[in-house]
Structure 1
Amino acid sequence: MLNTIAFVGLLGVLIIAHEFGHFIVAKLSGVGVERFAIGFGPVIFKHKGKETEFVVCALPLGGYVKLAGDNRGACKGLANEFFSKPIATRIRIVLAGPVFNYLLAFILFWAIAVIGFSYLEPVVGNVKTGYPAQAAGLLPGDRITKVNDKTVESWTEMTYLIRTSSENVRLLIEREGVAMPVVVSLKEAVINNGLGEKKKTPIIGIEASGSVRKVQYNVFTGFIKGAEYLYYHTMITVFSFAYMILGKISATEAVGPLGIYAITSEAVRAGIVAFLSLAAALNISLAVINLCPLPVLDGGHIFLFGLEKLRGKPLSEKAEDILAKVGIAAIGFLCLFVFYNDILRFGPRLWGKDRNAGITANQAAPDEPIK
């Protein structure tokens, strides 16, 4: 029951932040807001305000803000209509949704920095026999300080950089106070990815020493650290999507509602920092996805408004309608794919067939950012 409440609450906060961004900027821009809806399906709560109807629906898997005059063809030219506003104003309203998700992610990371968290340090505990790390001369006790010229401070960010590298990895290690450059090749191995799945993964063959560092910052330093975590997780998200497109990461790694539920359940067990970190990461993912230039997404609307600015006129209604249908079809296909993949990946765990796998607090907490 607690897991379900946490899941619904988590999605609800994400959606409210996003839609509130559209709502408040529209109101400040003089655009009427006819409806503010959270979720889809049967209505379970409704309140009619002076101008806006506020609605909560049964399925918390999305939401929308209905603006006055947001259909170009039906626009009457009234001052409070969306399409009566200049292109720059329209872009601000559309962009506000992802921006508010981003702001919420920053606030969450700031809170995490002030609360404090622990993470595994990038110190080698064991070098596996027959693996590239042994051939390269790595030893237990070596501290890895850089991967491919990027400074690392945690085991998780180190492994991420290694697993997204090409054939060779450039490491800078510290051994007895002396810095040493090392080049290590990669070897594919089947390992547990932390979500109860065994995947072929490029590794070098080292295990963590178990050395844990606890960090906690004051409010002012936490503000700066929150911004660093935001940047770091944004880069992780953007590069993950890029690697999927380029085929470096399988599209089956994408996570949908069932996957989020499973990960939320583990984060609840791991503690408040893990849960807040997950919430922040999901806000970033929602912002990045919505900024993709696909029709019906915020990024698609912004792209069309930019095109309208360059052309001096909008696309024809027919062209926009075709693009919208293509966008809906593409997103629908992606949703089905992700949901089907979720069932295969997380179904056994959610339905009691495999409850041995999970994430740890160290995996869920925000790592120190890549410098």
Structure 2
Amino acid sequence: MNTVIAIIIILGALVFFHELGHLLLAKRAGILCREFAIGFGPKIYAFKKGETTYTIRLLPLGGFVRMAGEDPEGIELQPGYRVGLIFNEQGAVQKMVVNHKEKYDLQKVITIESADLEHKLELTGYETEDGERLTFNVDPKAIYVADHQEMQIAPYDRQFRSKTLTQRTLAIFAGPFMNIILAVVILIGYFLVSGVPTEEAKLGDLTPKGAAIQSHLQKGDRVLSVNDQKVSKWSELVSIIKENPGEELMFNVERDGKELKLPVTPGERKIEGKGTKEGFIGAYEATEFSVVESIKQGANQTWFMTKMIFKGLGELITGKQGFKQLSGPVGIYEYTNQAAAGGIPMLLRWAAALSINLAIFNLLPLPALDGGRLLFLGIEALRRKPVDPQKEGIVHFIGFALLMLLMLVVTWNDIHKFFLDKN
């Protein structure tokens, strides 16, 4: 149950900040954002603030910001429609009711001759067949009502497609960028909680029953040499230990101003994917608590994790790593379970890694992802005209279907990796 709660909190936060990036930059550009959603599928909670409806949906596998003009609007006032009108104080049309008109206190009912809800913001029609031709101005925030569902109209200048290439690019890129910023903040929190590594050859926390504690090493011991080989950095100490699995090593350590010599025999563990072994003693690097260093380390670790993810992607592309290395929802559950067992610091580190993964995955130039949309914007910049929206929509639809297929494949891989192959 703790793992489920941890996943809900972590994924919820990652998706929330990702979509928040889209929302903030879209609103800044003046785009009408109809919905801010966490999850997909049926709504389980919704409220409206300003022009935007905020929803939580049943399937917690992502989220979206529905911007006006990205998809067909679903607002149609065709000639011949009989429409009820309600006006604002300035005499402009504030509400247009298509059906169930008896439920509303209407001020006029007209038969539409023409309607321009994007540019001129005008309605033209007749109250009766023989009546006078009437033209009405439409409020830029007028509401269209059909089947008791209300939708605010989107004049052209409030639509995604009306904005400059730079504004649209920033609105799309802001989602992944927010995930990178979130990772930095999480890792700063991680180092504030767990401390910043000192890089000295000094022992921090020791694991129970590890070789270090069994050899009477203590937290705070400074390692001066191993087998008479001088050691000054933690990386040097780790290197020697890894190279000598199962071999007795003589540690010369400083403790409380005194030097001690202690024999230590590193344990052995297999190196995943290589079939060889490395040594370990069950000791962590000593840490110090510093706000400034935590900020530096948060940024440095984000950069390091980003490079490692790109390295992994490169190995997938070149074939050095197979697709069995990819993980989906089942893998995320298992890894979150392992991180939760390590306490809050490990969970923070895992959340940061997930946030960076989400950012990079979304920036891949694949249809239906932010990277795919940015690719189309890049093509538009080169052609100096946008790609046909209908064609782009078809490409994104096919891309989404392929992504769902990939999700099924990696989920099957996870089931084998964590359950079937272990039996």
1:247-278 deviations in whole A, cap 9, x for unaligned?
A: 11221111111111111111111011100000
> Per-residue deviation at 1:57?
1.2
Deviation of residue 346 (structure 1)?
2.4
Runs of 5+ consecutive residues of structure 1 not aligned to the other structure? 126-138, 163-174, 177-190, 194-198, 355-371
Instruction: Show structure 2 runs of 5+ residues with no match.
Output: 75-116, 119-154, 204-210, 212-225, 244-250, 253-268
Q: Which residue of 1 aligns with 2:127?
A: none
Alignment pair present for 1:112 and 2:185: no
- Aligned: 1:4 with 2:4: yes
Shift of 1:21: 0.6
Alignment of 1:1-371 (within 5 A): 1-71=1-71, 76=118, 78-117=156-195, 200-201=273-274, 203=276, 205-347=277-419
Q: Which whole-Å CA distance do the structure 2 matches of 1:238 and 1:145 have between them?
A: 32
Deviations 1:57-103 (A, max 9, x none): 12211111101111389894621111100011000000000000000
Q: Distance in 1 between matches of 2:334 and 2:417?
A: 10
Point out the structure with the larger helix share: 1
Following TM superposition, by how much is the alpha carbon of 1:321 offset from its aligned partner in structure 2, in angstroms? 3.5
Could you say which residue in structure 2 is the equivalent of 1:136?
none
Q: Per the alignment, do residues 87 and 346 of structure 1 end up closer, same or farther by CA in structure 2, a change over 3 Å counting?
A: same
Instruction: Give distance in 2, aligned partners of 1:102 and 1:325.
Output: 27
Specify which structure has the bigger relative contact order, considering alpha-carbon pairs within 8 angstroms and separated by 6 or more residues: 1
Alpha carbons of 1:336 and 1:145: their partners in 2 closer, same or farther (altered >3 Å)? Answer: farther
| Distance apart, 1:140 and its partner CA | 7.3
Amino acid at match of 1:63: G
Structure whose alpha-carbon radius of gyration is higher: 2
SS in 1 for 2:66: strand
C-alpha contact (below 8 Å) 1:122/1:154 kept by paired residues: no
- Give the TM-score of the pair, scaled to structure 2: 0.63
3-state SS in 2 of match to 1:79: helix
Going from structure 1 to structure 2, the CA distance change for 1:54 and 1:318 (only over 3 Å counts) comes to closer
Counterpart-to-counterpart distance in 2, 1:250 and 1:2: 32
Aligned in 2, Cα 1:230/1:122: closer, same or farther, shift over 3 Å?
Answer: farther
SS where residue 201 of structure 1 aligns?
coil
Partners of 2:202 and 2:238 lie apart in 1 by: 4
Check the 8 A contact 1:141/1:209 in 2, yes or no. Answer: no
Tell me which amino acid in the other structure corresponds to 2:186.
Answer: L
Deviation of residue 202 (structure 1)? 5.6
Q: 1:340 to 1:192 in 2, by over 3 A?
A: farther
Determine the C-alpha separation between the residues in 1 that align with 2:168 and 2:196.
43
Q: Tell me, yes or no, if the aligned pair for 2:202 and 2:286 is still in contact at 8 Å.
A: no
AA matched with 1:218: S
What residue is the counterpart of 2:255 in the other structure?
A: none
By how many angstroms is 1:9 displaced?
Answer: 1.0
CA-atom RMSD, angstroms? 3.5
Matched positions, count: 299
